Each structure stands twice: as structure tokens, then as C-alpha cells.
Amino acid sequence: MLQTRTIPVCAPLVGEREVELVSKCIRSSWISSQGSYVSEFEEKFARFCGAEFGAATNSGTTALHLALAALRIGKGDEVILPTFTMIASINAVEYTGAKAVLVDADPETWNMDVSSVRQKVTDKTKAIMPVHVYGHPTDMDPLLELQDEFGVRIVEDAAESHGAQYKGRTTGSIGDVGSFSFYANKIITTGEGGMNVTSDAELAERMHWLRAHAFGRGGKHFWHEELGFGYRMTSLQGAMGLAQMEKIDEMVQWRIDHARQYNDMLRKLSGPEITLPPEEKWAKNVYWMYSILVKDPNKRDDLMDWLSKRGIETRTFFYPIHRQPYYASRYVGQRFDVADDLSKRGINLPSGAGLTQEEISYVSDSIVDFFKRS
């Protein structure tokens, strides 16, 4: 196959239906957070997740912060989360004034090592934040046991896991609240945007209230009883989200089908050269990113350069939180060996829903050719 354009790592898939609904929204003049689009999007996405209520926001990061704030997490509290995650996870904790307590990654699933969480629980622990990394769910049962034992809240960072399942339960609906992102590279997108889902009616109402500056109740419009936020989703985003919801099942299945094709073509390299992405028996991985580990970390950057020269865009794995310049000084002396190893060896391959079979074959063949020559 002659490659004439760059294959992006994760491009959105937007069509005429999105144009139709967004245009209809514009013509209605209800373009801010008012109107029916946002509430309908909340209802449909929450139902998709197996939850009762949705609270849409203007980003995945603000969804996480809103969830923590609604649970009254703040200064003096501790939140346990994995070091191997995107920076937004810990930033949301930082915004509340709480202390972020890190745990290492699990070498099999790349999610938080749930076996090490118990030893990090203290009398200050208010919440645990599992992150369903790259579309594979975290092993939730051990965390739910800790919730029962210690009364901690569970905030799922489900930004990357639309439609993923843990033992038949959809991510986002397992803990107290699940926070999603609709950034342009996510399985469904509103450009920017996010949403919290929950089956706790009181928590849902509080999130709706706080996201709109905690405007006064009982008719006092410009009366603010608590610190709120400007985190509302616009109707334009809601309209686009509704259009994306019409094909969310197909978008999820395309990711899974693409992963199977990659697996079939790269399996010959599995073991000696690369590790394919995980999928535990109890999990439905939705492969937000199709991600591999290069066995020899010294070859990782060379492989990425090889693919780039062939018009194939890739990304490294996350840099762990304990290595991030803003946070590193807080975790001096703590070891997170698995997360460090993942960050040195991981590559995210082109993963968008719009990938063609020919493109996946081209990417896979290019990887095979690299290892034949290296």
C-alpha cells in the first residue's frame, strides 16, 4: 500500500448528523447551557453507562474536579490514585486542596495495582480514584471491599473507557460516580466536554448545582451559598454529543474490531519483541488506544521514528505522575517500578474509529519490517 497521508494516532469521527444537530441548535438560538440538548445527552449517556443520572461539564478534567468537590473532598483529606495516568487525574485532586497518594501500576492490566491500595489507606483517606487506562477496566472488587470496610468514596476516572465493562458492569457505574471525557480523541466526542454519571440522586443534584456557580435556590438567582464553578456544557456540545450517541455502540465495536486485527497481524512479534494490550477474562477492553510495549526499551523511540517516516503518527505512554516536574518533589524516595517501566516501553498506535483495514495492515506491516531489520 502506498501511504500518501499521515495516519493520525486518534482522529475523531464526525459526520453529517453532527452537522445537522449542531446547526439546528444554532438556529434555535439556545447555544449556551440552556435548552434540551444537554439534558437529553445526559440522560442517554447515563443510561448507556448503566447509571441513573448524568451531569455534563465542559471538560473531562472539570468533571473529575466537580465529582470530588461534590463529595466535599478538600484540605486535610487524601485521595488514592495510580501514578500511571494522564495528569488531569491528579490535577483534579490538587484543585480541591486534598493530598494525592500514589500507587504503582499493575504489570498485567497497566491500571492501578489494587493489591497495594490497602496499605495506603489512612484515617484521612476520603476517596479512591481508579483510572481505567486506555480502555481496560480496573479490577474493582478489591476497591469495593475497601469501600465497605473504611467508608471511602470511589470516583472512577473513566475518561478513556466509554463502554468498557468489569464483570458485566459498565465502567463509570461501579463506584459512587464515574467521570468521562469527550475530548476530540475519545471514543465519542463533543470537541471538549465531560460528564459525571451516578445513581445517587442527591449527588447528581449537588453536581448540577455546583457546576453552575451554586446559584441560589428558592428563587434567589444571584445568591451563592457555596463556592461553585463555571463548568457547564454548552448546548452546541450537547447537540454534537447526541449525534455521537446514535452510533456509540458501533464506535465501541470498531475499536474492538481494530484491536483484533492488530492482534492478528502483530501476534508473531508477541513475546520476543512486543507485548500486546491486555484483556483480562473479567474485562471488556474497548481499546480507546491500541497500545503495545516494546520489550527492549532502547528500541522504543527508534520504532516510533521508523513509523513517523512512513507517515504513521504514534504517542508514548503517559509519564507517571511521580516523574512530572510539578509533582515529583512530593514523591522523592517512593518507588513505582512498574509505572516507570511502562512509560519507557509503551507506544500508542493509530486507534481512531475511522481507521481502515488497509491502514491497520500498513501500520502492522511497518512494525514487522522494523523488527526484521533491527
Q: Is 183 helix (H, G, I), strand (E, B) or coil?
A: strand
What is the reported pLDDT for 219? Answer: 74
Judge residue 162's burial from the number of C-beta atoms within 10 Å of its C-beta, 0-12 exposed, 13-18 middle, 19 or more buried: buried
* pLDDT tens, residue by residue, 200-251: 999 999 999 999 999 977 777 889 999 999 999 999 999 999 999 999 999 9
Q: Which domains does the chain have, with CATH numbers?
A: 16-245 (3.40.640.10), 248-373 (3.90.1150.10)
Question: Average pLDDT in the 162-191 region?
Answer: 98
Question: Average pLDDT in the 84-112 region?
Answer: 98
Its pTM stands at: 0.97
Question: Average pLDDT in the 286-312 region?
Answer: 98
What is the reported pLDDT for 5? Answer: 79
What is the reported pLDDT for 35? Answer: 86
At 125, which amino acid appears?
T
pLDDT mean across residues, the chain: 96
- Chain CA centroid to CA 292, Å: 18
pLDDT at 4 over 90: no
What is the reported pLDDT for 374? Answer: 78
Distance CA 112, CA 115 (A): 9
Task: Give 302's Cβ-side CA count (13 Å radius).
Answer: 11
The set of residues, in sequence order, having a beta carbon less than 8 Å from that of 183 and lying 6+ positions away, is 59, 60, 159, 189, 191, 192, 193
pLDDT at 1 over 80: no
pLDDT at 303 over 80: yes
* pLDDT tens, residue by residue, 319-369: 999 999 999 999 999 999 999 999 999 999 999 999 999 999 999 999 999
The set of residues, in sequence order, having a beta carbon less than 8 Å from that of 23 and lying 6+ positions away, is none
pLDDT at 2 over 60: no
Q: Please, are residues 154 and 144 in contact by the beta-carbon 8 Å criterion?
A: yes
Whole-number percent of the chain with pLDDT over 90: 94
